[in-house]
Every structure is written in C-alpha cells, then in structure tokens.
Structure 1
C-alpha cells in the first residue's frame, strides 16, 4: 500500500484501514492548519487506488471500517468516487463503515442525486470541518465558507441520508472573540443539527499562518478558562437534537464523549468542576500540542 506525505485521520477512526484517494486539500489555505502543506491537491489514479485496495485485502483478513484520506475526498468526481466505493465493497464484503473528509462546500458542488448515489454506494459518514460559526472568524481563518454555505451543505447531506460529523475548534476566535465565537458557533450548530459534533481545543501548528499572526501580535491565544467557558456555553445552549458528542480530543481540558442531549447534565457538571477547581484556569495562555 502506498501513502504520500503526512497522513491524517480523525481520532474516531483509529481502528480503520486508511486508503489514500486524494493528495492534500483543495482549499489548503486555512490559517490554523498545516496538515497538507507538503503537497498540492490531486486525485490519485483509479488504478493505483484499486491496487492499494487489493493489497490491503492480501494483508488483512477482516476489515469492517475504512477511512479514505486525504482532505475533502468528496471533491472527487462522483463516478470515480462511486467506483472506489464499489471496489471496496467487492473486495471487503464484510465492510460496515466507509468514511471520508468532506468540506461543506463539497456537498454543495454536487447534486442531491449525486449525493444519494454516493450514499447508496456505501458511504457511511462524512467528517466536515465547521471550525466556527462566527462570520468574522470564518473570514479571518480563510475557510472560504460562510454560515449559509455550511447550512446548505448540511441540508444537502441530510437529504441524501449521509451522516455528518462537524468539527469545531474552541479558542479559534482568540482572546478577543472568544464569546462571539462560542455564541455564533452554537447558533449555527443548532440550525444545522449534525449527526455528531467533534469539538477540540485550538493548537497552534508550527509553520502555520496563525502562528505567524500570533508572533506579530495580531492574534492572542485564549486562556484555558475561556476555552472551558466556550465549551460550557455550547453545552448549555445546544438544542435537544440527537447527536454524538466527541469531546475527547487529546487537547481538550475536560475530555468527554457520549450521546446528546442525555449527556448534557453530566458534561456540564464536569465542565463546572474544572472551571471551579482546575488550577489550569489560572494560566494566561492555553497550552496544547500540535496535531
């Protein structure tokens, strides 16, 4: 099997087989991210992908979950993506889950018919970076996505019955826009109602544009207390729709995960306990680790 450059997958996919289908990310301008700065976006040749799938079958006797890397695999032409999904199902008849990264704009660039065909071909879950619901933050981080884009993309995915996990980043508004970031992100999630939410604390990636902004004094890291307060606001104000809360990223101050809204009260108890007693809240700058 062949992989090019740095390879990333969501922490929920730790047990999944990884098949590289694209190289890099078609946006690759987000100021906080360096995941794919070592390569230009490209869709791998179909025959090369198929060879990797066949080789994976030779190596692994039983595979139930596959994650397609790199970034926004949903950007692949529909017929090619369906061919990949079909080949996976033929090669791994025991497969139960096939997931990938998709920007919300990638949903918008396809028709509902195309998305339904992709779902019928076997796609189980799309991991989509929402990051923030604050218009100013979205513009600053060069996400090339608006609140309206995210809402439309989510609606299209839901109509096609594609499950969506939306990731958000606590602290992305910095010290200055911590409250606005929390309020606007929560309000957007309430409109979108994704199937799962994956919140994580901001980590400054070495070599990122955001790191340079911080060094120039244009971005100030939030405090650990602000991070906890952002998560508290989210938990308090999420509406009662069913979703899974993947709040156990390694950088989170209060890691926890479980079904929502049934976990709201125990999660809030944990957050409040950290706010009241965790000595980290006395620090001036959040300390997190690069991905």
Structure 2
C-alpha cells in the first residue's frame, strides 16, 4: 500500500482497512488541527487508487470494512467517486461497510440524487467535524464556510439519501471563558440536526497549531477538567430523545463511555456525576490531554 504523509482515521474505524484516495484536507484552516498541514490537498489518480485496491485484495483474504482517507473525501466528483466505490465492491464482494471523512458542506454541495447513487454504490457513512454549534467559536477556529443553515442542509440531504452521519465535536473548544456558550449552542444544534452518531472528545492541543500559539500568548485560556465534565453533563441532560450512538470513549475523555442514546442516558449521567463529585482531576486548573 502507498500512503503519503501522516495517516488518520476515526477511532470507531479501528478495525477498518484504510484506502487513501485524497491527500490532505480541502479546508485545512482550522486553528486547532495539524492533521494535514504536511500536505497540499489533491485527489489521487484513478489508476493509482485501483492498483491499491487490487493490492489490498492480494493482501487481505477478507475485507468487511473499508475507510477512505484523507480528509474531505466527498469533495471528489461524483462520477469519479462512483468508479472508486464500484471498484471496491467488485473487488470485495464481502464488504459490509464503506465510510469516509466528509464535511457538511461536502454533503450540501452534492444533490440528493448524487448522494443516493453513492449510497447505492456502497457508501454507508460519513464522519463530519461539527466542532461547535457556537458561531463565535467557529469563526475563532477559522473553520471556513460552516454555518448553521449549511450544516442543516447537508444533514438533511444525507438523511434523505440514507447515508449515516457521525458528527464529532470538542469539549472545551470554547476555552475557559466560553464553555457555557459552546456547549449550549452545540447541544441545540445537535437537537436540530439529530445525527445518527456523535463523537465528543476533549480538547487536545496539537503542536505547531495557531491554537498552541494562542495559549502561549494568553489569547486562549484552556478549560479546567471540571468545565469539560460539566459540558458533557449538560449535553447528556439536554439532548432530546432521538436515536443516536454515543462515541464518548475517545482516549482524551475523562470518563470514556459509549452506547445507544437515549437508552443509556441515565447510566451515562450517573457516571459523569460520579466523576464530578469524586475524580481528583477536577481539582486541577487546566485539562491535560494528549496530541492525536
């Protein structure tokens, strides 16, 4: 397999085979993220992708789950992406799951018919970075083109096409001073769009990012562990009862847990309340997490 640069995949895709079809991220401006700073965004040539698919077939006797990398794979023109998906399903007739990174704007820019065609060709799920529902924070982190209306439009199109959406977001992204606004706005937006799965993770500062500079100069004050736990508590208290899988077990989360909502809501709330009351980490001034 040929992989270029650093390779990332979501933690729920730990058992998936990875196929690189784009290089880098088509946005690549977020102040908290360094994932693809070493690459200029481009789409790989079909011949190279097909060679890698055939190489995977020789290497793996069975592939049930495949994740397409790098960032924003859904920006690939639909006709080309259909050829990639068809090559995958032809090569791996046993495949059960094909997923990829995509932005809400990537979903919005496709027509429902295009998304339905991708679904029929094997695309099951997209992973989207919501980050925050607070427009002030979205502007601060320089996540270009993200508005509530665009997020809602992208989510609605995915739902109509039958493509599952996982929305990830970051506890503590508002820092010490905007923690409440961040979690309240994020929870409201989640209640409006009702994604199929959500994946919250605690803020981790990536070396070399603008956010790291903001911390060094005092423009951004890191949240406390208690604030991060209280954000998760607020989320679990105020999410509406729509069916949603909760991937709250990222390695940086203080109280890792996962399962279906709303079925597990009470158990999750009890666990968070226990940590707020008893975990000694809540006495610390600044949350300590690890770079990705």
TM-score, normalising length: structure 1 = 0.99
Paired residue for 1:76? Answer: 76
Equivalences for residues 1-291 of structure 1 within 5 A: 1-144=1-144, 145-291=146-292
Residues 77-133 of structure 1 show CA distances to partners (whole Å, capped at 9, x for unaligned) of 000111000000000000000000000000111111111111111001100000100
- Separation in 2 of the partners of 1:165 and 1:57? 28
Residues 216-274 of structure 1 show CA distances to partners (whole Å, capped at 9, x for unaligned) of 11100000000000000000000000010000000000000000000000000000000
- Separation in 1 of the partners of 2:242 and 2:67? 26
SS at match of 1:36: coil
TM-score, normalising length: structure 2 = 0.99
The answer for unaligned runs of 5 or more in structure 1 is none
- Separation in 2 of the partners of 1:143 and 1:78? 24
- Separation in 2 of the partners of 1:31 and 1:120? 36
Residues 4-49 of structure 1 show CA distances to partners (whole Å, capped at 9, x for unaligned) of 0000000011110000000000000000000000000000000000
SS at match of 1:47: helix
In the alignment of these two chains, the number of paired residues is: 291
- Separation in 1 of the partners of 2:87 and 2:248? 33
Segments of 4+ moved more than 3 angstroms: none
- Separation in 2 of the partners of 1:155 and 1:219? 34
Deviation, 1:148, is 1.6
- Separation in 2 of the partners of 1:236 and 1:147? 22
